[in-house]
Amino acid sequence: MLKNRRSRLIRFFEKYSLNALLITDLRNIRYLCGFSGTEGALLVTKDHAWFLCDSRYTAQAADEVTGAEIRECAAIRIDTVVALADENGFDRIGFEASHTTVSAFRRMTEKLPNVSLVELGSDFDEIRSCKDNTEIEQLALVAALSSAALVSVLGSIKPGVSELDIALALELEMRRRGADGKAFDFIVASGVRGAMPHGRASDKIIQSGELVTIDFGALKNGYHSDETVTVACGKPDSRAVEIHAIVRAAHDLAIEAVRPGISCKELDEVARSYISGKGYGEYFGHGLGHGIGLEIHEMPSLSPRSTAVLEEGMVVTIEPGIYIPGFGGVRVEDTVVVTGDGGHVITNVDKQLFFL
């Protein structure tokens, strides 16, 4: 499995004529060698790899790391990179430009005066876009856990409880069901707050007749889930019900359109043109969705600006919404695996409008 993942690096050695790749992003490190700790680096050549860590992580690395020689760094990690570059005669090393700070880059430049440091661009950020079966299993597991937690707290959503009460109950349910934590700060946005696509749970008390948008996800074994429901507390006005029906139909159409070969821009357009046709286009301001995996938001992005094309094995969210300032909003979201036959939804809560 890790061998297959490493094989995705080959084209970068060729494209940039590199001797080695220096991987410092912890998600990429976990993906490529299995280490789940919070500090370390991976130096990879075409046929070898070294995992560098300090003594706090040596035992954990010995337990988790596959396919890399573990090098404990006595002093600063970059000195070990310098030593390995000298020993092996490396003169071109690629690094992850989007995960390297300016100060770390300066330090590398000073310490490695005879090595060309080559920026790996956005194409490198796409190495995790297509998931393997192990990853799809992990994503399905955390999605199911998270959906079950939401279903078990639905009954406690009623007038008089606060948005924060719901967020806390949901997080507790996830932990009880085995989650390592939450995937992000949940969005619980009720009534007019629903117009904020990223309205984090507040101490606002839910009133009868309000819609409540809950965007939630769990984290397990490094993998994230992401799902959104909008429920009605009491009887909402007819416009709210109409908006929910439009968003849900746009969501359903987009999920039906998921297949390998469709461009992410075109998929976004399926939902966007439906919402626009109903007169609400100006109220759908964000992209249709995003890739999900070891990060909550990763490649590919589904938006009018996206240049990516869906491929089998990608796992993406579909999350159209309508947000009307001063009125409120609706979003529904599912996580979908792109298979040869189309989209397979792994989040489990029905997206009908629940009246609580």
Q: By CB under 5 A, is residue 213 in contact with Zn ion?
A: no
> Which window, 98-106, 224-232, 268-276, 303-311, contacts Zn ion (CB under 5 A)?
224-232
Q: How far is the CB of 347 from Zn ion (least distance, A)?
A: 10
CA distances from 271 to 206, 253, 255, 280 (A): 29, 7, 9, 11
Query: Quick one: 210 or 226, whose CB is closer to Zn ion?
Result: 226
Q: Minimal distance in Å, beta carbon 137 to Zn ion?
A: 20
DSSP assignment letter at 129? S
- In sequence order, the 6+-apart residues with CB closer than 8 A to the CB of 205 are 159, 160, 161, 162
DSSP assignments along 218-274, one per residue: EEETTEE--EEEEEEES---HHHHHHHHHHHHHHHHHHHH--TT-BHHHHHHHHHHH
Instruction: List CB contacts of 9: < 8 A, sequence separation 6 or more.
Output: 21, 32, 44, 127
Pattern 297-336, Zn ion, x by CB under 5 A = --------------------x---------------x---
Number of H helices and E strands in the chain, helices first, is 10, 19
Angle at 246 between CA 212 and CA 233, to 5 degrees: 20
Give the nearest distance from C-beta 70 to Zn ion in angstroms: 36
CA 7 to centroid of chain Cα atoms: 23
Tell whether residue 147 is a contact of Zn ion (CB under 5 A): no
Nearest to 31 by CA among 14, 58, 9: 9
Q: Is 147 or 228 the residue whose CB approaches Zn ion more closely?
A: 228
Please say which residue, 19 or 225, places its beta carbon nearer to Zn ion. 225
Does 268 contact Zn ion by CB under 5 A?
A: no
**Which one of the spans 164-172, 208-216, 252-260, 307-315 is the region binding Zn ion (CB under 5 A)?**
208-216
Work out how close the CB of 295 gets to Zn ion at its nearest, in angstroms, rounded to a whole number: 11
- Per CB under 5 A, the segment of 77-85, 125-133, 213-221, 240-248 that binds Zn ion is 213-221
Could you say whether residue 226 binds Zn ion (CB under 5 A)?
yes
Helix (H, G, I), strand (E, B) or coil at 277: helix
# chain residues binding Zn ion, by CB under 5 A: 5
Taking the complex as a whole, the smallest distance from the CB of residue 165 to Zn ion amounts, in Å, to 20
- Binding segment toward Zn ion, per CB under 5 A, in 32-40, 222-230, 247-255, 300-308: 222-230
215 binds Zn ion (CB under 5 A): yes
The closest alpha carbon to 335, from 191, 178, 136, 176, belongs to 136
Site residues, Zn ion (CB under 5 A)? 215, 226, 228, 317, 333
